[in-house]
Every structure is written in C-alpha cells, then in structure tokens.
Amino acid sequence: MKALCILGSTGSIGVSTLDVVRRFPERFKVRSLTGNRNAAKLAEQVREFKPARVAVADEAAAAEFKAALGGWKGEILAGPKAVVELAEEPESNYVVSAIVGAAGLLPTLAALQKGKQVGIANKEPLVMCGPLMRKAADESGATILPIDSEHCAVFQSARAGEPKELKKIVLTASGGPFRTTPAEKLRTATKADALKHPTWNMGAKITIDSATLMNKALEIIEAHFLFDLPYEQIEVWVHPQSIVHALVEFSDGSVVGQLGLPDMRLPIQYALTWPERLDGGLPPLTIERMRELTFEEPDHERFPSLNFAYEAGRKGGTAPAVLNAANEEAVRLFLEDRIPFVRIFELVGEALRAHDVQPLDGLETVLAADRWARERVRRQVE
Ligand code: NAD
Ligand code: MG
C-alpha cells in the first residue's frame, strides 16, 4: 500500500492524481494533502479521501477550510514550513510534487532527502537546481518518477535499450495557441488568447508557458537533469496533435516513442504504479486520433524560448534558476495585465544576459539567484 502525500492537490495535476487514486483504492491511501488558498476544493477532497493531515497557505486559508469542513477530526497546518513537514513525515512513502513554480522546491527536496518515491510534475525546481535534487536522491536512495508527459514518455521509451545506446531524445510540443499566429499579431495577443490551449487543460502558469514555448524550454533543462543527457542530444519537434509525447533514438537508428491521448492521468498513473502497468480504465487511443500526426520545426524567431534554454543550460550553474525565476515573474505580470505578451521574452532574455553566473554550490546560491532575477524583472517593469 502506498501512502501518498499530494503537494498541490487542488491544482490541475493534483485533481488528476486523485482521480487515478480513486481508481485503485486497494493500492493507495491518501495520508496528506496540501493546497494554497482554494479551501472549498480542499475540503471537498478531504471529505472524499479522508487524509489525516492537510496544509494550506496561511491561517486565513486554514480558517476558511475549517469553516468549509465543520467537525473534521484531522489536523490542519498552515504556512510553507507545514507543507515541508507533510512532505517529509515518515507516515507517507510516496510524494506527488504538483505545486506550481519555485514554491514547490523546498517540500520536493525534503521528500527526496527522506528517501521517498517522488512523482515530479513540478518541473521548475528541477530546472532551478536539478543537480542538488539528484544528489539528494542519490544520497538518500529516493526514486524520482517523472510525471511531466514528455519525460514520462522518455522514461518509458528508454527502457527499450541501454543508457549507452541512447543517441538522442525528442520532446514534442503542441506549439500552443499561437503556433500559426504571425509575429505582428503576437504583439497584441491578449491573456484570454494565451489561455486557450489547443490540446491540454492545465493551470494558468503552464498554459502561458505553453503559449511562449517556455514550457518546452524548461522541459529541455528538466530532461538534461533527469536523464543526464548533454544538450546536443535533446531536440524539440512541434507536434500539434499531442499524441506522440516523446521519441528516443538509439545508436542503431531505431526510434522508440510513447503515444497516448493528451490526458495527464496516464503519466500520473505510470509514475504511481511503476514499475507495474495496471488497467485504470482510462480512455484508449483510437484510430480516429491517429489519422493525422504531423511534426514541424519550432519557429525560433517568434518564440526565442528554446534558445534561452540551450543558452542557460550550457552556461549551467545559476543560469537555469535565473531563466525560471525571470519567467515566473514575467508570467505573473502578464497574468495581471501589466505587460504585453512579447515582453515576457524580452524580460527573460535580458535577465539571462545580465546575470553573473555562479556555480551551483548549494541551495542558498540558487535562492539568491532566484531573488535577483525576480527583483530585476519587477524593477524593469515598474
Ligand atoms: P495549478 O495552478 O493548477 O495548481 C498548482 C497547485 O499548487 C494548486 O494546488 C495550488 O493551490 C498550489 N500552490 C500554488 N502556489 C502555491 C504556493 N505558493 N505554496 C503552496 N502551494 C501552492 O498548476 P498545474 O497545472 O497543476 O501544474 C502544477 C505543476 O505541474 C507545474 O509545475 C506544471 O509545470 C507541472 N505540470 C503540469 C501539467 C498539467 O497538465 N497541468 C503537465 C505537466 C507538468
Ligand atoms: Mg510537459
């Protein structure tokens, strides 16, 4: 029986995770849940899954949660330290990391330090400090299971050969809502346009990242750290149907890929039940969805994000953390209607260029680089 701690249970990945859990009551029990401010959603989840402990953003959210769930006997905690406490307590042996952004770093790292199995959807911490997370896992014996669909696809496909036989990987990208939008129209793209994702239904931040291709940029760095691959061996192909999630090419020229509907429950289920495959009754891939599968090169002129990733990745050290933080801050400003869409690229590119890269010698260095980039972006805009 796996005892789960689900970090970010009220978000898109969190809700999909609980749907997988619901399909296997004999395999999983929910030990703890964490949410930020959506007290009503969390209360509904607690009623159904009966965890022993939950954590929310602060005392106000805790009060709201208590009001929504009168008479609950479990324990409610508040604040970022409480989230870390739930991630590391020994009563759970599997942690699902599904908070969005850098906020997930400390609890995910804590779970890795405790030697747990950790299913990681929350890619930003891996981008910020993949080597520190890998080191924590190596030292404690923790297992990292990728939930991000492309990385889960690489993880599955790579099992067809030996690591030394792997020649390159291809991550696919839907291309987002602006795949065919001309450059001059991108200048006037609105928040509503950017939030209309053609194939996936996700949280707001990653949806904007898909529109800028920054999501794929982060995923290049995520893949580099997860699979220990040089950047020359990581490619991106735009594939608007989102059926082929990734391809792995081996030294003999054979290419092995993983296909499936664009439904995060599939990679989540694989990460939860690994190394087994179980029938969770998810909708199957049908011939209708396979009739047209197309692939095209990404447009680096309109979407410079992938080049930022290769640049930051090759610089190494604190550069990926700066890329991530500048982007998080720029996306926040875009979602608050304070900057136009294309300003996101400028702010991220400028932060990367201005940053004095430091070696990744510890968490404090990463957090300092993260703060520096956020402050810089805020100052540029004010
Ligand atoms: P979301 O916005 O829908 O959910 C985020 C969750 O994190 C919510 O439960 C929210 O309450 C919580 N949260 C937000 N800020 C927090 C904070 N400061 N402290 C504590 N908790 C906080 O996001 P999502 O789309 O589910 O994405 C989650 C992560 O998974 C992201 O890193 C994203 O890149 C990654 N991911 C998502 C998808 C997807 O299909 N949604 C696919 C692949 C990877
Ligand atoms: Mg992905």
pLDDT in tens, 106-152: 999 999 999 999 999 999 999 999 999 999 999 999 999 999 999 99
Q: Tell me: do 78 and 215 sit in the same domain.
A: no
pLDDT in tens, 245-265: 999 999 999 999 999 999 999
Co-location of 101 and 195 in the same domain: no
- Is 101 a domain residue? yes
Ligand 1 lined by 96 (C-beta under 6 Å): no
What are the CA-CA distances from residue 135 to residues 132, 153, 360 (Å)? 5, 23, 12
For the CA of 10, the nearest atom of ligand 1: 9
Instruction: Indicate whether 127 and 245 sit together in one domain.
Output: no
Cβ(200) – ligand 1 distance below 6 Å: yes
Q: Same domain, yes or no, for 164 and 122?
A: no
Residues 64-113 have pLDDT tens digits of 999 999 888 999 999 999 999 999 999 999 999 999 999 999 999 999 99
Domain end among 88, 113, 146: 146
Last residue within a domain, chosen from 240, 274, 300: 300
Measured CA to CA, the distance from residue 91 to residue 153 in angstroms comes to 30
Assigned domain for 250 exists: yes
Residues 246, 158 share a domain: yes
Q: Does ligand 1 come within 6 angstroms of the Cβ of 56? A: no
Range of the domain at 42: 2-146
* Residue 49, domain member (yes or no): yes
Indicate the pairing of strand 166-173 with strand 143-146: unpaired
Percent of residues, the chain, with pLDDT higher than 70: 100
Q: Which two tokens stand for residue 297?
A: 């090169």
Q: What is the mean pLDDT of residues 208-225?
A: 98
Report yes or no on 308 lying in a domain.
Answer: no
> Is 334 in the same domain as 354?
yes
- What tens digit of pLDDT does each residue of 222-234 get? 999 999 999 999 9
Between CA 279 and CA 281 the distance in angstroms is 6
Ligand 1 atom with least separation from CA of 101: 32
Q: State whether residue 340 is helix, strand or coil.
A: coil
Task: Please check whether residue 198 lies inside any domain of the structure.
Answer: yes
Q: Is 7 in the pocket of ligand 1 (CB under 6 A)?
A: no
* Contact criterion met (CB below 8 Å) for 123 and 218: yes
Peptide bond into 275 cis (omega under 30): yes
Instruction: Find the 10 Cα to ligand 1 centroid distance in Å.
Output: 8
Instruction: Indicate whether residue 13 lines ligand 1 (CB < 6 A).
Output: yes
Q: Are 84 and 207 in the same domain?
A: no
Expressed in angstroms and rounded, the spacing between residue 224 Cα and the centre of ligand 1 is 22
Whether residues 157 and 283 share a domain: the answer is yes
Alpha helices in 24-122 (DSSP H): 39-49, 59-68, 80-88, 105-113
pTM for this model (two decimals): 0.98
CB distance 17 to ligand 1 below 6 Å = no
pLDDT of residue 204: 96
Number of independent structural domains in the chain: 3
pLDDT at 70: 83
Residues 74 and 109 in one domain: yes
Q: State how far the Cα of 303 lies from the Cα of 174, in Å rounded to an integer.
A: 13
Q: What is the CATH number of the domain that holds 329?
A: 1.10.1740.10
131, 146, 161: which is the final residue of a domain? 146
310 within some domain: no
Q: What is the pLDDT of residue 89?
A: 98
The verdict on 266 and 281 lying in the same domain is yes
pLDDT at 71: 83
* Cα–ligand 1 centroid distance for 11 (angstroms): 5
Closest residue (by CA) to atom 41 of ligand 1?
Answer: 202
Which CATH number goes with the domain that contains 63? 3.40.50.720
Cβ(98) – ligand 1 distance below 6 Å = yes
What mean pLDDT is predicted for residues 30-59?
97
Would 331 be classed as within a structural domain? yes
Shared domain check, 242 and 105 = no
- Is 309 inside any structural domain? no
Q: What's the confidence (pLDDT) of residue 302?
A: 97
Say yes or no: 276 and 225 in one domain.
Answer: yes
Q: Are 96 and 32 in contact (CB under 8 A)?
A: no
Q: Looking at the predicted structure, is the pLDDT value of residue 200 above 90?
A: no
DSSP 148: S
